[in-house]
């Protein structure tokens, strides 16, 4: 699949076309353009919460699983869309999407950072508090 940047003017049309191709006839629990752009905004928010400098945001990866939450009594597998988004210097791009059968409630969005981003986030966190003497 060709990468689909989510920050360009024609990205919605490209994303809609790719989602239609991947989702096929499944519609109930699959991703939409709105849900993907919302997931990208949430991933950006989570990344910003790590207090990383703007030049260090590239390289993070977010995995988004559509479908929302269902009751624990829901016994059947449902078709969901799973996407991988990668943060580059300009914003998020969708690099992979596929449907899969799913039971249960996985996290809707999982963010992974590079080792350097992790190191900087831990440094920033440790500077934000102190430990009281015992």
List, as one string, the DSSP characters of 36-80. HHHHHHHHHHHHHTTT--GGG-TT-EEEEE-S----TT--S-EEE
Q: Is the pLDDT of residue 18 over 80?
A: yes
Angle at 54 between CA 51 and CA 58, to 5 degrees: 105
Q: pTM score, two decimals? A: 0.88
Task: Give mean pLDDT, residues 11-24.
Answer: 92
**Using an 8 Å Cβ cutoff, are 52 and 125 in contact?**
no
The predicted-structure confidence for 22-43, as pLDDT tens digits, reads as follows 988 887 888 999 999 999 999 9
What was the pLDDT predicted at 76? Answer: 77
Task: Give mean pLDDT, residues 46-51.
Answer: 94
Q: Is the pLDDT of residue 122 over 90?
A: yes
């Amino acid at each position: 699949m060709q990468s689909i940047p989510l920050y360009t003017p024609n990205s919605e049309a490209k994303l809609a076309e790719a989602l239609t191709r991947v989702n096929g006839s499944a519609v109930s629990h699959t991703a939409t353009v709105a849900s993907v752009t919302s997931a990208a905004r949430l991933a950006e928010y989570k990344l910003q919460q790590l207090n990383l400098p703007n030049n260090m945001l590239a390289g993070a990866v977010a995995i988004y699983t559509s479908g929302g939450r269902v009751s624990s009594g829901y016994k059947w597998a449902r078709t969901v869309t799973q996407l991988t988004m990668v943060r580059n210097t300009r914003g998020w791009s969708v690099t992979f999407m596929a449907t899969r059968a799913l039971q249960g409630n996985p996290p809707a969005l999982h963010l992974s950072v590079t080792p350097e981003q992790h190191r900087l986030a831990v440094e920033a966190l440790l500077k934000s508090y102190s430990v009281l003497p015992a």
